[in-house]
Structure 1
């Protein structure tokens, strides 16, 4: 009888120890899993950036029918705002917004014209990006996309008038974010836009046309915020 009671007590004690051990393991797992899940759920697919941007144009172009004609353009520094949406941790779409201007100068055989005129540009650009996630807080990315540039508020100087046509372009991009925490980071970005609009102008009462090969580099840096 004593032996039977001892066996029964031992089995009961073992069951209680196993139950307590399992409960402790569940509590420990919950303690470590909950913060991780909360951290993963703490960000949304949306991200914004604000950059200072240096717009560096390619000085090239032509006036049709004028041998040796060439064009050059002014460079500018502007603010730029962009919005990104992450489909997953690697793939994102980015819409880039900003506006700038370009002074247009005659070069080559038409250098005597000096400043031909001025135009403002609104070049919204949409890129699809791949973000590398194997480097911790350092997050490089590459992208490619399409640009549509609208030219507005145009005026002639040595020319009586200047009309640069709206046009599509191709954009290539590379950059990185360095994240300070889950939401804030610093950003460096470089884009090349292949932009070659046609234009019409009136020079000394004569109508002329041609092509401006702007092909700008957009190089800048700023801050990143992930919602």
Structure 2
């Protein structure tokens, strides 16, 4: 009975303190996606164009968009975060050093990469809170289309007709590191980095038939700076 009474007293004392440590935080700022891209070789294109074997690959450029994060603080150190953004837009080009098609515009795509993470925040009680997180990313691609340069090149190789580009969606792990600086009781400044595993299968189709399929590892570093508000 004595231990039950002590447990009840501890719950009454600690319960409100724990509740005070939980809550919601929201940030808005700039998110920059910088791909560390790597892809397979475009064997069919190489054969059709008479290029050396394994001489081509795909490159994906970077983009900056409005970034948003929503945190639910479980307690003073653990937090769950959702990263979202307005759609990122990327140009895709061909890398073929020493050939006439090096830098050829292949196409464009947009994507959204929502990422859900569990964070551990250091320096409890400090105005400066570094943190680490691990989570899962789901990236879906849309609004893909073939660029005119690639369409013209395919036509010259005898691959005439309707042309399209398709990229498969991706699920992968995401790691992050960041820091929050408290401005006052309600607002704070945030800087953060994510490394995200994003892999997709890219298909170029002519008249609905796949003429080239290649695996592309985008694996970007996402940098974010923004202002936050604590509810």
TM-score, reference length from structure 1? 0.76
Give 1:222 shift: 0.7
Instruction: Give the aligned CA root-mean-square deviation in angstroms.
Output: 2.5
Larger Cα-atom Rg: 1
Unaligned runs of 5+ in 2: 1-15, 47-53, 152-162
Give 1:80 shift: 0.5
Unaligned runs of 5+ in 1: 1-37
Equivalences for 1:1-227 in 2 at 5 Å?
45-63=23-41, 65=43, 67-98=54-85, 99-108=87-96, 112=101, 114-134=104-124, 136-157=126-147, 158-159=150-151, 160-202=163-205, 207-227=211-231
Q: Is the 8 A contact 2:22 2:74 kept in 1?
A: no
Q: Is the 8 A contact 2:22 2:75 kept in 1?
A: no
Question: What is the aligned partner in structure 1 of residue 4 from structure 2?
Answer: none
TM-score, reference length from structure 2? 0.75
Q: Is the 8 A contact 1:69 1:107 kept in 2?
A: yes
Give 1:132 shift: 1.0
Give 1:134 shift: 3.8
In 1: Cα distance, 2:224 partner to 2:26 partner: 15
Q: 3-state SS of the aligned residue for 2:184?
A: coil
Q: Is the 8 A contact 1:100 1:120 kept in 2?
A: yes
What number of residue pairs does the alignment pair up?
Answer: 191
Runs of 4+ in 1 over 3 A off after TM superposition: 38-44, 63-66, 203-206
Give 1:62 shift: 2.1
